[in-house]
Structure 1
């Protein structure tokens, strides 16, 4: 496994974690906890965190 130091052009991209998308997700609490852990670690290393919210009219 590589470290962040080996990847200077690294960013964490978090996609579609808005309530309407993850409300009924399998193991929702665990998924959100894992995302929070990744975001915290990325920020502590100075890695940019990019949040992407995809939406369409038919989405909740």
Structure 2
């Protein structure tokens, strides 16, 4: 687990290994899911610094 604090919220990030996906899920009528690579994920969360930081601390982040 990774924790990132902001002035008003504390974010907890959990990494998962996906072994299967159901065709229908609880929010399937409200959301769509899409697999993207790290660069695209980083681009999509860049608007929210706390999310970008959480992603950058994940095991998916490029090694420096």
Q: Identify whether the pair has TM-score above 0.5, normalized to the shorter chain.
A: no
Higher percent of residues as helix: 1
If the TM-score is normalised by the length of the shorter chain, which range does it land in? under 0.3
Q: How does the TM-score come out when normalised to structure 2?
A: 0.25
- Larger RCO (CA within 8 A; separation ≥ 6): 1
| TM-score normalised to structure 1 length | 0.26
